[in-house]
């Protein structure tokens, strides 16, 4: 073997090991608790408990543009952009709710009550208490794009119509992985239902 082949094999090996370690580490990240109410062929109905969200509203409708802006704002809050300069653990998923304006939210770790959380220093980030809700959720893998998310939203809408399930709100995208993760990516589209 020549040196270039050995170097390339080493780089690929390190990259694969890093990806596996990141996938393992993601198991430590807290996600909201829910109960699966019913499973269908392409989606499931979940009942979520109440949760606290750090949320920002973005004027952009593109996931790429709004995602970057929203992520910076809300990540700033949990990385110390609050009155106590307190670090707050990252959770998954990052939630993007689509509508007239896009809302990006991070779920706060379950150990916190609203009164325990420090106030954001940015006027563009608010702490919001989400009440218990029932969602229809369609899961998909790979990297998310505006086109892919819109296609999955339509698939979920069609499946809900077929089952005569009534939609109550706007669709959301839920992303569970860091942008640099390649393997085991988890994405979901969700909508509140009756």
Query: pLDDT value at position 27?
Result: 53
| Res 18: pLDDT | 42
pLDDT at 70: 87
Best CATH choice for the domain 30-193 from the list 3.20.80.10, 3.40.640.10, 3.90.1150.10, 3.40.50.300:
3.20.80.10
CA distance 138 to 165: 14
* Residue reference for tokens 């949320």: 55
Mean pLDDT of successive 10-residue segments in the chain (194 residues)? 58 42 57 96 97 91 71 93 94 90 93 95 96 97 93 98 95 90 91 96
pLDDT at 193: 97
Domain ranges of the chain: 1-29, 30-193
pLDDT of residue 30: 93
For 58, residues 6+ apart whose C-beta sits below 8 A from its C-beta are 66, 69, 70, 101, 102, 103, 104
Run of H or E residues at 3 = helix 3-26
- Of 36, 34, 32, 35, the residue nearest 51 (C-alpha): 32
66: part of which helix (H) or strand (E)? Answer: helix 63-78
**In the block, which residue shows the tokens 């392409």?**
42
Coil, strand, or helix at residue 50? coil
Look at residue 25 in the predicted model and tell me its pLDDT. Answer: 45
Measured CA to CA in angstroms, residue 30 lies from 27, 59, 139, 157, 184 at distances of 8, 29, 18, 28, 17
Residue 15 confidence (pLDDT): 43
Distance of CA 72 to the CA centre of its chain: 14
Q: Which two tokens stand for residue 78?
A: 């949990």
């Amino acid at each position: 073997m020549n040196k270039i082949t050995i170097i390339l094999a080493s780089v690929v090996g390190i990259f694969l090991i890093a990806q596996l370690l990141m996938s393992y580490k993601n198991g430590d990240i807290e996600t909201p608790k829910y109960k699966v109410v019913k499973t269908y062929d392409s989606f499931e109905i979940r009942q979520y408990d109440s949760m606290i969200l750090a949320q920002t509203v973005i004027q952009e409708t593109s996931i790429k543009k709004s995602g970057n802006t929203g992520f910076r704002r809300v990540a700033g809050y949990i990385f110390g952009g609050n009155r106590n300069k307190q670090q707050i653990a990252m959770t998954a998923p990052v939630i993007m709710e689509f509508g007239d304006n896009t809302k990006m939210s991070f779920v706060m770790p379950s150990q916190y009550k609203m009164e325990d959380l420090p106030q954001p220093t940015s006027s563009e980030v608010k702490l919001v208490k989400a009440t218990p809700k029932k969602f229809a959720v369609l899961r998909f893998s790979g990297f998310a794009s505006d086109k892919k998310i819109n296609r999955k939203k339509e698939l979920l809408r069609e499946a809900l119509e077929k089952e005569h399930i009534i939609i109550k709100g706007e669709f959301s995208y839920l992303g569970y992985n860091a942008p640099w993760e390649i393997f085991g990516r988890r994405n979901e589209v969700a909508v509140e239902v009756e």
